[in-house]
Structure 1
Amino acid sequence: MIIDVHGHAGPWFFSTDVGAVDVNIKLMDRYGIDRQIVSASEAVTYDMVSGNRWMAEALAEQPRLLGYVVINPNELDEAARELERYAPAKRFVGVKIHTTYPALPLTSTATREALGMAAAAGLPVLVHTWDDSVLGLVDVLERYPALRVIAGHMGGPAWRTAVEAATRSDRLYLEPCCSITDRDRFRYALDRVPVEQMLFGTDSTLVDPAIALGVVLDADLTELEYEHVMWRNAADLFGIPA
């Protein structure tokens, strides 16, 4: 079984062949991915309200997909309403917070308040991380004892910092998707972070799942590591029946 914790649905402004959720399913079939947790591209890059609404409609037609409620820290009142609207829905199992498109870093007060709102809703949060600010998640996790965070992209180029952060909190998870990867970074993480905190994500459909799969397989996982990374940890974190 494979559970992909970092997917997207809908068109992007990049020159990639994405759009309908049929593309998600086609790629899942190609690479043997059973379940995928996705956020609406529109909600991430443009309008969280209309994007989340579109995502809810798409999820109703695709049982293999589960959703992230996207919240924008620039609009905390509206974000609270979005959480109230979608958090009780069984098809939405987490929260997505980006840092680049809202132009608010992890260290901003608004982003930290948004993380606190997700903690209050009882949902895990996938956060876009791409620099050393990923270390700041440790302080946020200490502030909100119910918070569980996935460091999306494992910090990107700051992956060593992300690993350090994950060793400081057992509620900080790492997933490896990245358009450009450094050799042995996933093995580096596995050798330092408890395997229960390691997840599998692809960034599909923005990035072909083959990249993330190659990163994981290149790490020469043991059978137990593979089980935890590829599905068991995600099933436990999001309450997905295995």
Structure 2
Amino acid sequence: MIVDVHAHLLLPGVEELVAGQPGHDAHRALDARRNGAESLRVSGRMVAERLGRLTDVGARLADMDRAGVDVQLVSPSPSHYHYWAAPALAERAHRLANEGVAEHCSRAPGRLLGLGLVPLQHPELAVGLLDHALSLGLRGVEVSSHAPGRELSDPAYEPLWERAAAAGAVLFVHPFGCTLDARLDRWYLSNIVGQPAENAVALSHLVFSGVLDRHPGLRVLAAHGGGYLPTHIGRADHGWRVRPEARGCADPPSSYLRRMWFDSLVHDPAVLRHLVEAVGADRVLLGSDHPFDMGTETPVAALRAAGLDTASLARIGGGNAAELLGLTTDPSTEEAP
């Protein structure tokens, strides 16, 4: 069984709900400043061309069949976070997103699993909306790398981490937007550089703040191979050893890489091999970013290109996801992709 844990769904109803609401125009202006006009135009055309693949279950299943994927873990497009929204609107939008993902996945039981959303800008609402997502049969929630004025190390999120760990919910960390803002507003650096930078910052906050010490059962799944963190973890370990203020976590930062999970979407066989070496073959899961252009149409082929051993291929291709998501397949009986 081949499982893709990084695939997205567009939910037009969420965008209809937030359009014209106070704060929406400022959010759009920030998005424009961070990405630049040219990238916004290219992204707009790309999404329009792939709209069916982002919304239609039949098109999704056809894509999965072509890619050799048996099961997809579907998460909302990160454009639906809307962390600018006031509490009442945020709750409505995130409930609508959770229900939209659940309805989409219900059309292909056995092949589609889902993740919901929680409003990180309102920590007091997050536990309730996590429970809402889980009550719909979703496997967890997707969150960005930060919310305005809050990092993932913020103590206000402790109830969310506690509840997620107790429920066995997956926390899929997928950045949207980079706080380097206009420095990355050309050549699509907002995504090319910004996403892996945000991944590294977010995961570092979880590690160095001791979140993973306090909540060892937290199931963190990082998009984009964890960004720059796994490939530069030696610097983190060195800082932890020599700087007393960096000792917010009990153990060297590299040890926490083996307490999280990472998707395989790194776009380079050598980087994928390094990721596996840094975190372990039992901590990497197949990811495609379907169907966006910064993903891959051939995730299984990309995995094979890394030249890993048969056991590692089997685990990354589906065995690890089966364990993380509670699927019924026995990973030890799976064949390599």
Q: Report the equivalent of 1:59.
A: 105
Q: Report the equivalent of 2:286.
A: 200
The percent identity for this pair of structures is 26
Distance in 2 between residues matched to 1:105 and 1:216, nearest whole Å: 32
Runs of 4+ off more than 6 Å: none
Q: Report the equivalent of 1:154.
A: 225
Q: 1:28 deviation in Å? A: 0.6
| Cα distance, 1:168–1:32 mapped onto 2, change above 3 Å | same
Q: 1:151 deviation in Å? A: 1.5
SS in 2 for 1:135: helix
SS in 1 for 2:278: coil
Distance in 1 between residues matched to 2:117 and 2:142, nearest whole Å: 5
Q: 1:110 deviation in Å? A: 4.5
SS in 2 for 1:95: strand
SS in 2 for 1:50: helix
Q: 1:38 deviation in Å? A: 0.9
Q: 1:240 deviation in Å? A: 0.9
**Is this contact kept in 2: 1:5–1:36, CA < 8 A?**
yes
Higher mean C-alpha deviation, range 207-216 or range 183-192: 207-216
Q: Report the equivalent of 2:206.
A: 137
Q: Report the equivalent of 1:38.
A: 74
What does the per-residue CA deviation read over 1:174-220, in whole Å, with 9 as the maximum and x for residues that have no partner? 11225xx3551110122232211111111112244336445422211
| Aligned partner (choices 71, 79, 84) of residue 118 of structure 2 | 71
| Aligned partner (choices 71, 87, 93) of residue 134 of structure 2 | 87
**Is this contact kept in 2: 1:96–1:125, CA < 8 A?**
yes
SS in 1 for 2:145: coil
Aligned residue pairs total 238
Q: 1:228 deviation in Å? A: 0.4
| Cα distance, 1:105–1:240 mapped onto 2, change above 3 Å | same
Distance in 2 between residues matched to 1:154 and 1:212, nearest whole Å: 13
Q: Report the equivalent of 1:7.
A: 7
Distance in 1 between residues matched to 2:254 and 2:283, nearest whole Å: 8
What does the per-residue CA deviation read over 1:114-147, in whole Å, with 9 as the maximum and x for residues that have no partner? 4333223321211126333223333221111221
Distance in 2 between residues matched to 1:66 and 1:148, nearest whole Å: 16
Distance in 2 between residues matched to 1:85 and 1:166, nearest whole Å: 34
Q: Report the equivalent of 2:183.
A: none
**Is this contact kept in 2: 1:2–1:32, CA < 8 A?**
yes
1:223 paired to 2:258: no
| Cα distance, 1:106–1:62 mapped onto 2, change above 3 Å | same
Distance in 1 between residues matched to 2:311 and 2:133, nearest whole Å: 34
Q: 1:68 deviation in Å? A: 0.8
What does the per-residue CA deviation read over 1:55-112, in whole Å, with 9 as the maximum and x for residues that have no partner? 12112212111011211211223322222223144x3112211226x44443444456
Q: Structure 2: where are the runs of 5+ without partners?
A: 13-42, 83-92, 176-195, 237-252, 330-337
Q: Report the equivalent of 1:106.
A: 152
**Is this contact kept in 1: 2:220–2:261, CA < 8 A?**
yes
| Cα distance, 1:183–1:105 mapped onto 2, change above 3 Å | farther
TM-score scaled by length of structure 2? 0.62
SS in 2 for 1:38: strand
**Is this contact kept in 2: 1:43–1:50, CA < 8 A?**
no
Distance in 2 between residues matched to 1:110 and 1:25, nearest whole Å: 39
SS in 2 for 1:221: coil
Q: Which has the higher helix share?
A: 2
Higher mean C-alpha deviation, range 103-112 or range 77-86: 103-112
Q: Report the equivalent of 1:236.
A: 323
Counterpart code for 2:173: V
Counterpart code for 1:86: A
The root-mean-square deviation of aligned C-alpha atoms, in Å, is 2.7
Distance in 1 between residues matched to 2:68 and 2:299, nearest whole Å: 13
Higher-Rg member (1/2): 2
Distance in 2 between residues matched to 1:240 and 1:78, nearest whole Å: 29
